[in-house]
Homo-oligomer: A and B are copies of this chain.
């Protein structure tokens, strides 16, 4: 059996020389703002309005002319005449005169003449009078009409992925439609002679395909236009035909499986036959996830993900996802940890490759402990038991118990 020893890329090389250089898709569509969650914003969104749009009381209390409260105290309160009550949603037509006050609820519009609000807790009311027991400065307890957002402010930048929070802001400003990039169309192909469908009963040595089903679920949960194209046996001509058709109809093609040398070789041959530049990297210095293949046919990325479920999982999250984010024009497409966690045990590693270790979290009075789940890479049960992974960077030989590590949630 002849073996070709392959050259592996570093994780950094994959990000810099492969993912960063992928040409993003450029299909822009206009959609309703409340449908835009998960899409990447195609251009800067500029506010057409001020927010809140009127001078707004931040508390329940009395709108006053601040000068009238000067020097007031519990012993020597300022006595003001309550001339009306501000109704929420309405602009009072009456202009407050010196010595006058108006009841105002939280969210009410400041009447003309008033420049501050005294909190109700610092007042005492008698009939149509109110005693103010604490002075207020001009502007106190008031939100100015353009304090939150000004006309012309960029409220959402192009090339950012839109979250529900962003939608809340733009809806508030009366923006009902946004231009977004279309979602990436992702073809997922399952390969390998040993692979059978999930509802089938395996004979010995066969393996159900859970990888591509889980991958497509996960991608769809994130809004990608992902589809499981089907299963292809280890047959070069069949794989060639399926890949060719996928390249015509999708933005990204994922080939799952093929972790053994035989399958890997023939997948590589098929990719090279499809066109230039072909395979960019044959594998990457990461554990698990090493046998990930990075290819381009024309401008279209083809990723070969390892068949081992745990490697598959790590490759999907750390290589496929950034590829999809890049291709959807997101400017920050690199994986980011969701926080730091403290390791409960030493995690040894090997210098020169990144290492992702599955962990289970424990929350203890403001601290977050991460218990490493050591086991064979191939253990699928640990993917279900783990809360996520911590990263051991390639330049260290491990992380000690008690130290902090970057945590990535599953």
Contact = CB atoms under 8 A, between A and B. Distances in A.
Interface of A: 1, 3, 5, 33-34, 37, 51-54, 56, 58, 60, 85, 87-91, 103, 105-109, 120-121, 125, 143, 147-149, 153, 155-156, 163-169, 171-174, 176, 192-195, 198-199, 201-208, 210-211, 213-214, 217-218, 221, 234, 259-263, 307-309, 313, 336-342, 361, 363, 366-368, 376-381, 383-384, 386, 393, 404, 406-407, 409-410
A384 B166 contact: yes
A105 to B, nearest CB: 3
Contact of A261 (B106, B214, B393): B106
Among A52, A194, A377, which residue has the most Cβ atoms of chain B within 10 A?
A: A194
Contacts of A167: 210, 213-214, 217
Nearest to A51: B380
B340 A404 contact: yes
Q: Tell me which of A33, A87, A214 has the highest count of chain B C-beta atoms within 10 A of its own C-beta.
A: A214
A53 B203 CA distance: 9
A221 to B, nearest CB: 6
B339 A194 contact: no
A308 B107 CA distance: 8
Contacts of A205: 54, 88-91, 108-109
24 contacts: A3-B60, A51-B381, A58-B377, A60-B260, A88-B205, A88-B260, A88-B263, A89-B194, A91-B203, A106-B259, A148-B379, A148-B381, A167-B213, A167-B214, A168-B380, A169-B383, A171-B198, A171-B210, A171-B213, A337-B339, A338-B338, A338-B407, A340-B342, A366-B406
